[in-house]
Structure 1
Amino acid sequence: MKLLLLGATGRVGSHILDYALKDGHEITALVRSADKLLHLAAENLRVLTGNVLDQKDVASAMRGVDAVISALGTDKATTLSEGTPYIIEAMRREGVSRIITVGTAGILQSRVSPDLLRYQSSESRQKLTRAAEEHHKAYSLLEQSELDWTIVCPTYLPDGEYTGTYRVEAHQLPVDGMQISVPDTAEFTYQQLSRSEYIRARVGIAY
């Protein structure tokens, strides 16, 4: 498969990149700093220096791919809300329908206030909601699109260890879910390339 990976140098994205390289996918990684991937001498990896906030960079990276995985963070800015429209438009132009992204548990439905998202309700312990608001904007844009999207929504995300054992639930965080490691989140996210049960769904993931 020809895959566009966004956020390939981040905590989750770097693990996803490792999985995809080992499985022999042809990967295009759009990164702001190519220096961070110089240690990877893989024939099936194409590194493009650019920015998801540049429409031309996104369009160039999207050419010829079959699917997109985005592990972009919020950067304490508006990266997601500004970049997601460029991603959606480039996918539409190239006829790419499948995108898997990494979000946050804050944009899952609240159990205590079902009409609200977690970050909007008393269920969330986060006092600062800026990151969740950015993920909410990206989710809304994907939901309004015709794409086959999946948003993996981890709760508290320490680096941790790989276990391969965790709980997932569509649209909500598994009951009493407190944390999930970066490697386990990356594995589940990557696995969605070959799965279809969570298309057009947010998926909570936790131990």
Structure 2
Amino acid sequence: MKIAIFGATGRVGSKVLEMVVHEGWEVHALIRDRSRTPFDSEAVQWYIGDATSPELVDQVIKGCDLVFSGLNTDKTDTLSQAIPLIIHSMQKHQISRIVTIGTAGILDSRYEEGKYRFQTSESKRKSTFAAEEHLTVYQTLKNTDLRWTIICPTYLPDGEEQGNVRHEMNVLPEEGKKITVGDTARFAFHTLLYDQFVHNRVGICY
């Protein structure tokens, strides 16, 4: 299995990278700074640059079987710029499967029909910029023929795996407060490994 990973030095992406290498997969990983590579492995081919470069995105995806994106917003529009490039390249190379990390803000509200969580009092964040960027990813993916899944953790502190993760399709499980980076990465890896939750957002928490 060969996987393209975007955001491979991020908090979740770096842990997913470790897991897929341990599983024996080959990796094409895009990073912005070669000095930030989390480890060296013969299984990983590093690409240096930005996810908003069409040529570079295509190089990363070419020859892979599936795609994982752990890209975050970093207060920029990288997500909304990168996702059309990733989709175009996947379609060009006839790759159908993509798993991304989103945010619980783009899950459906439990209490206000027709709204996303970030549009309601269910979300505690004052700024909606990140949620709007992730919403663009969701809206763009759902209008394709790709086999997509968006994993949507709530509050995401650093931390190792604790287990007992709860999940629910398209909404956040009730009383969900947080989930660690370690458990989010493990959930993402299992989603890739077992090809789960196709065409769904998945809310995850403890």
TM more than 0.5: yes
Mark the runs of 5 or more structure 1 residues left unpaired by the alignment.
none
**Residue of structure 2 in register with 1:77 after alignment:** 76
Amino acid aligned to 1:77: T
TM-score by length of 1: 0.97
**Residue of structure 2 in register with 1:189 after alignment:** 188
**Residue of structure 1 in register with 2:64 after alignment:** 65
Q: Does 1:109 align with 2:71?
A: no
**Residue of structure 2 in register with 1:170 after alignment:** 169
Q: For 2:204 and 2:125, how far apart are their aligned partners in 1?
A: 17
Deviation at 1:162, TM superposition (A): 1.0
1:112-131 → structure 2 map (5 Å cutoff): 112-131=111-130
Deviation at 1:186, TM superposition (A): 0.3
For residues 38-89 of structure 1, the C-alpha deviation after alignment (integer angstroms, 9 at most, x for no partner) is x623111110112110001001111100000000001101011111000000
Q: For 2:48 and 2:97, how far apart are their aligned partners in 1?
A: 23
Deviation at 1:114, TM superposition (A): 2.3
Amino acid aligned to 1:53: T
Q: For 1:4 and 1:96, how far apart are their aligned partners in 2?
A: 11
Amino acid aligned to 2:144: S
Local SS of the residue matching 1:205: strand
Q: For 1:159 and 1:15, how far apart are their aligned partners in 2?
A: 11
Deviation at 1:164, TM superposition (A): 2.2
RMSD (Å) for aligned C-alpha atoms: 0.9
Deviation at 1:168, TM superposition (A): 0.4
Q: For 1:195 and 1:156, how far apart are their aligned partners in 2?
A: 25
Runs of 4+ with deviation above 6 angstroms? none
- Asked if the contact 1:112/1:122 (under 8 Å) is kept, the reply is no
- Asked if the contact 1:32/1:51 (under 8 Å) is kept, the reply is yes
Q: Does 1:199 align with 2:198?
A: yes
For residues 138-180 of structure 1, the C-alpha deviation after alignment (integer angstroms, 9 at most, x for no partner) is 1100011110000000000000231122100000000000000
Q: For 1:195 and 1:97, how far apart are their aligned partners in 2?
A: 15
Q: For 1:154 and 1:148, how far apart are their aligned partners in 2?
A: 20
Equivalenced residues, count: 206
Deviation at 1:129, TM superposition (A): 0.5
TM-score by length of 2: 0.98
Q: For 2:196 and 2:182, how far apart are their aligned partners in 1?
A: 21
Local SS of the residue matching 1:158: coil
Q: Does 1:97 align with 2:88?
A: no
Amino acid aligned to 2:32: R
Amino acid aligned to 1:8: A
- Asked if the contact 1:8/1:31 (under 8 Å) is kept, the reply is yes
Q: For 1:22 and 1:33, how far apart are their aligned partners in 2?
A: 23
For residues 118-139 of structure 1, the C-alpha deviation after alignment (integer angstroms, 9 at most, x for no partner) is 0011211111100000000111
Mark the runs of 5 or more structure 2 residues left unpaired by the alignment.
none
